[in-house]
Amino acid sequence: MRGGLSKTLAVLGAAGLLAVSACGNSDDNGGSGDSAASKDVTVFTWWADGGEKAGLDGLVSVFNTECKDYKFVNAAVAGGAGSNAKQVLANDLASKNPPSTFQAHAGAELRDYINAGQVDDVSGLYKEFGLDKAFPQNLIDNLTVEGKIYSIPANVHRANVVWANPTVLKKANIDAAKAPATVDAWIADMDKLKAAGVKAPLAISKGFAQEMLVEAVLLAELGADKFTGLWNGKTDWAGADVTAALEKYKKMLSYTNADREAIDWPDALGYVNKGQAGYTLMGDWVAAQQLADKVPESSYTYWPSPGTAGNFQFLADSFTLPTGGKDPEGAKCWLKVTGSAEGQKAFNTKKGSIPARSDANPADYPKYQQSAMADWKKDKIVPSCAHGAACSVGQNNDILSAISQFSGSQDVAKLQSALGTAMKTS
Amino acid sequence: MHGRIRTWGPGALVLLPTVLLLGYFVYGLIAWSFNTSLTNRHTARSGPADYVGFENYGHLFSEDRFLNSLKNLGVLTVAFIVGTLIFGLIWALLLEKGVPGESIFRSVFLFPMAISMIASGVVWGWLLNPSTGDDARGLNRLFAILHLNFLENPWWTAGSRWTTMMSIALPAVWQMSGYIMALFLAGFRGIPPELREAARVDGASEFKLYRHVLFPQLSPIALSALIILGHISLKLFDLIYAITGPNQFRTEVPAILMWNTLLRSDQAKAAAIAIVMLAVVAVLVIPYLALTVRQEEKR
């Protein structure tokens, strides 16, 4: 009996190993149709499944035709928002064994790598590939750190979007097609919803979703320039206008679901779709999620977060050129594909984001993306801290901690000083 | 001379790999961490770093977030140890009395230990949903169904540090009580039956039998259990990570703060947190080791 059991276990173990190695093989081969390729280009991402994997595959197919001399090697590490991948990457970089290129949020989140001397300046490539003309100047300004640019964005997402359920809003006779003009008007609408029997009009989830709401309120109350100044040190965190905005955020938390610390953003979106809540604030990857969940377009609406119309709060996934990479020429070819019109189209139509280039054809994209692309061209571009465009990993970590503390304590003064302190660290 | 080598040589040879491996991978790396904690290596940049003495420790102990995590850990450890010992002892007492199907109960109580904490943490995260009333889910929903609505509570998401960390300790207690039960049960079984008989012959009541005859014999086991539970609690990371996520101020313990610190490449500070954790565990373990060594010498 005993021997039988251990034998069974051994067989199971062996089968497990086989399955794992089989996965490894299929990953390695995934997308590399070109057998004549000679040099490997290791691309490190956290795009391992779903629309993200489909987007990466699209990029790879363009790479395989544009860069015939090189072979794509997938080094994806699964895990939401790169939570596992960043640890693996840190090890590889520390042991001087960098991938040919790796994925990172564009902007300040790269600062850790820059400070550690792990990524090279790619501003030369912007000129070479003509990206300085293809990307909006406003975006390039947001990506520039002390006169240098360290990555090439593959896509753009918008953070300041509110998703609403028209059926719920109708209960309180609110016109779902029109966004409230200000945060105050939005709060007034939530009061109406509460009076109409919607217990938690604003659905929100834990962590970065709350951070995004804080940012949306700050952006609405302070305006684009002062808001951007919060992240680059030009606006004082201790100001009375910040206090007033945070007080409004506190007020808004009282309209949210009690289990906000225990759920993730798809759950909060579910509350809206099911009619338990009227609104949720979340980045525009919601559009791809709604498509994937087959939620009919008539059953939800979206508009820029109240008071932030005309501002496009962006975040972007981008690729870098690590210092001391084995085959920089191959990596440069990958970066060229990433920035090219064709590469951005292949990637973004599948991932559900919009291209960073302003010369893309909206007709290639689904309905939501078309509106986002129109805004991307005309709106003022402001960075998002929650997604790495405005804050380093460390600053973001401190801010998340302060916001989770605030969710329980509701102490505005403490939150304000913690946010200010967080932005003083590196 | 040759004779002497023959006596201690083979033994030393067998021990050598262990000594080398432990020496490098455990003690060597502890020394390396300690060394890092004394420097200003606050980025991932390689190359020489300057020594700053105990500055990193000074900063840690003046930092609100670190002190909060230490207090959380203290409360968690007390709640976890007390809860696990109580349940483990109760279950051991019940089984020790001899119930039909004892082995089934023994397995049922032990099974939770076989689940990895990250997996049980995910499920407990759902069970500990803070919604109440009509929206109640998880355990709160169960309370509502059983008409025990007064028990519905926000778990770890609101309230004092004690209720917060006790909610976190609950899954850990569930997971480890079976193990403590097994320890105590083995202890009870190791007591010779003659002792019970003698006590009963002397007219001791059942309570007195346990209080004065059986429990005193279990004290070494209780001490071992305390040490084992203590060090599990001090290192607890995966369960909290799975239930509340990595950036939850209310439930942050030093292990999670260390992870967050390392994620931002602040190596010196992360090393300092690690050394503080090691010191806290050492406070618990070293007296125990000293005691064991002394007892063995007596024999």
Residues A269, A352: one domain? no
Q: Is B39 helix (H, G, I), strand (E, B) or coil?
A: strand
Residues A9, A89: one domain? no
Residue A261 C-alpha, separation from nearest chain B C-alpha, in angstroms: 6
Q: What is the pLDDT of residues A414-424, one digit of tens each?
A: 999 999 998 88
Interface probe for A, chosen from B247, B258, B263, B266 (most Cβ of A below 10 Å), is: B247
Is B43 an interface residue toward A (CB < 8 Å)? yes
For the cut 60, the answer to whether the pLDDT of residue A268 exceeds it is yes
Residues A225, A297: one domain? yes
Residues A274, A191: one domain? yes
The partner residues of A73 in beta bridges, in order of sequence, read: A42
Quick one: pLDDT band at residue A34, thresholds 50, 70, 90?
very low
For the cut 50, the answer to whether the pLDDT of residue A259 exceeds it is yes
Chain centre distance of CA A370: 19
Is B129 an interface residue toward A (CB < 8 Å)? yes
Mention every residue, 6+ apart, whose C-beta is less than 8 A from residue B14: none
Report if residue A383 sits inside a domain.
Answer: no
What pLDDT is recorded for position A73? Answer: 87
Cβ contacts (< 8 Å) between A402 and chain B: which residues?
249
Q: Give the sheet arrangement for strand A311-315, strand by strand.
A: A157-158, A311-315, A380-383
Across chain B, mean pLDDT equals 88
Report if residue A100 sits inside a domain.
Answer: yes
Asked if A353 and A286 touch (Cβ cutoff 8 Å), the reply is no
Residues A342, A257: one domain? no
Query: To the nearest 10°, the Cα dihedral for A398, A399, A401, A402?
Result: 120
Q: What is the mean pLDDT of residues B69-91?
A: 94
* Closest residue in chain A to residue B245, using alpha carbons only: A207
Look-up: residue for tokens 């968690």? Answer: B76
Percent of chain B predicted with pLDDT > 90? 40
What does the block give as tokens for B130?
């803070």
Asked if A265 and A163 touch (Cβ cutoff 8 Å), the reply is no
Q: What is the 3-state secondary structure (H, E, C) of chain A?
A: CHHHHHHHHHHHHHHHHHHHHHHHHHHHHCCCCCCCCCEEEEEECCCCCHHHHHHHHHHHHHHHHHCCCEEEEECCCCCHHHCCHHHHHHHHHHCCCCCCEEEEECCHHHHHHHHCCCECCCHHHHHHHCHHHHCCHHHHHHHCECCECCEEECCEEECCEEEECHHHHHHCCCCCCCCCCCHHHHHHHHHHHHHCCCCCCEECCCCHHHHHHHHHHHHHHHHHHHHHHHHHCCCCCCCHHHHHHHHHHHHHHCCECCCCCCCCHHHHHHHHHCCCCCEEECCCHHHHHHHHCCCCHHHCEEEECCCCCCEEEEECEEEECECCCCCHHHHHHHHHHHHCHHHHHHHHHHHCCECCCCCCCHHHCCHHHHHHHHHHHHCEEEECCCCCCCCCHHHHHHHHHHHHHHHHHCCHHHHHHHHHHHHHCC
Mention every residue, 6+ apart, whose C-beta is less than 8 A from residue B218: B184, B187, B188
Look-up: residue for tokens 């949210």? Answer: A256
- Closest listed residue to residue A269, CA positions, set A241, A245, A254, A291: A291
Asked if A170 and A176 touch (Cβ cutoff 8 Å), the reply is yes
Axis-axis angle for helices B102-110, B64-96 (nearest 10): 170
Which residue has better confidence, A327 or B183? B183
Q: What is the mean pLDDT of residues A227-239?
A: 90
* Closest residue in chain B to residue A402, using alpha carbons only: B249
Report if residue A378 sits inside a domain.
Answer: no
Asked if B102 and B95 touch (Cβ cutoff 8 Å), the reply is yes
Separation of alpha carbons A417 and A404, rounded Å: 14
Q: A259 and B131: CB-CB below 8 Å?
A: yes
Quick one: pLDDT band at residue B77, thresholds 50, 70, 90?
very high
Mention every residue, 6+ apart, whose C-beta is less than 8 A from residue A326: A42, A100
- Closest listed residue to residue B56, CA positions, set B72, B74, B41: B41
Is B44 an interface residue toward A (CB < 8 Å)? yes
Interface probe for B, chosen from A95, A396, A397 (most Cβ of B below 10 Å), is: A397
For the cut 80, the answer to whether the pLDDT of residue B150 exceeds it is yes
Report if residue A387 sits inside a domain.
Answer: no
CA angle A293, A295, A296 (to 5 degrees): 145
Residues A266, A396: one domain? yes
Side chain identity at A154, as an amino acid letter?
A: A
What pLDDT is recorded for position A14? Answer: 44
Residue B76 C-alpha, separation from nearest chain A C-alpha, in angstroms: 18
Q: Can you give the residue range of the structural domain that contains A10?
A: 1-27
Q: What is the pLDDT of residues A188-232, one digit of tens each?
A: 999 999 998 888 999 999 888 999 999 999 999 999 999 999 998
Mention every residue, 6+ apart, whose C-beta is less than 8 A from residue A372: A158, A284, A354
Separation of alpha carbons A340 and A408, rounded Å: 46
Report if residue A338 sits inside a domain.
Answer: yes
Q: A86 and B263: CB-CB below 8 Å?
A: yes
Residues A196, A300: one domain? yes
Q: B135 and A262: CB-CB below 8 Å?
A: no
Q: A261 and B128: CB-CB below 8 Å?
A: no
Q: What is the mean pLDDT of residues A164-183?
A: 89
For the cut 80, the answer to whether the pLDDT of residue A407 exceeds it is yes
Cβ contacts (< 8 Å) between B245 and chain A: which residues?
206-207
* Closest residue in chain A to residue B68, using alpha carbons only: A405
Residues A140, A277: one domain? no
CA angle B182, B115, B66 (to 5 degrees): 95
For the cut 50, the answer to whether the pLDDT of residue A2 exceeds it is no
The CATH number of whichever domain residue A254 belongs to comes to 3.40.190.10
Interface probe for A, chosen from B243, B263, B273 (most Cβ of A below 10 Å), is: B263
Q: What is the pLDDT of residues B7-32, one digit of tens each?
A: 888 888 899 999 999 999 999 999 99
Q: B249 and A405: CB-CB below 8 Å?
A: yes
For the cut 90, the answer to whether the pLDDT of residue B5 exceeds it is no
Quick one: pLDDT band at residue A38, thresholds 50, 70, 90?
low
What does the block give as tokens for B88?
């483990």
Q: A393 and B264: CB-CB below 8 Å?
A: yes
Quick one: pLDDT band at residue A21, thresholds 50, 70, 90?
very low
Is B118 an interface residue toward A (CB < 8 Å)? no
List the CATH code of the domain at B63-298.
Answer: 1.10.3720.10
Separation of alpha carbons B277 and B286, rounded Å: 14
Cβ contacts (< 8 Å) between A394 and chain B: which residues?
264-266
ipTM over 0.85: no
Q: Which of residues 205-264 of B touch A (CB under 8 A)?
A: 244-250, 252, 260, 263-264
Q: Is B147 helix (H, G, I), strand (E, B) or coil?
A: coil
Mention every residue, 6+ apart, whose C-beta is less than 8 A from residue A225: none
Axis-axis angle for helices B138-145, B117-127 (nearest 10): 50
For the cut 50, the answer to whether the pLDDT of residue A10 exceeds it is no
* Closest residue in chain A to residue B261, using alpha carbons only: A394
Q: What is the pLDDT of residues B170-179, one digit of tens each?
A: 999 999 999 9
- How many residue contacts between A and B have a Cβ separation below 8 Å? 88
Separation of alpha carbons A222 and A130, rounded Å: 35
Cross-chain CB nearest to B260 (options A259, A397, A407): A397
- Closest listed residue to residue B287, CA positions, set B198, B223, B202: B223
Which residue has better confidence, B72 or B211? B72
What pLDDT is recorded for position A378? Answer: 87
Separation of alpha carbons A223 and B90, rounded Å: 62
Report if residue A257 sits inside a domain.
Answer: yes
Mention every residue, 6+ apart, whose C-beta is less than 8 A from residue B68: B249, B252
What pLDDT is recorded for position B272? Answer: 95
What does the block give as tokens for A222?
């302070």
Residues A286, A204: one domain? yes
Is B128 an interface residue toward A (CB < 8 Å)? yes
Q: Is B193 helix (H, G, I), strand (E, B) or coil?
A: helix
Number of domains observed in the structure of chain A: 3
- Parallel, antiparallel, or unpaired for β A380-383 and A202-203? unpaired
What pLDDT is recorded for position A80? Answer: 60
Q: What is the mean pLDDT of residues B53-81?
A: 93
Percent of chain A predicted with pLDDT > 90? 32
C-beta atoms surrounding B158 within 10 Å: 16
Across chain A, mean pLDDT equals 84
What pLDDT is recorded for position A202? Answer: 93
Report if residue A385 sits inside a domain.
Answer: no
CA angle A88, A89, A95 (to 5 degrees): 95
Cβ contacts (< 8 Å) between B131 and chain A: which residues?
257-259
The partner residues of A314 in beta bridges, in order of sequence, read: A158, A383
Residues A17, A36: one domain? no
Asked if A42 and A73 touch (Cβ cutoff 8 Å), the reply is yes
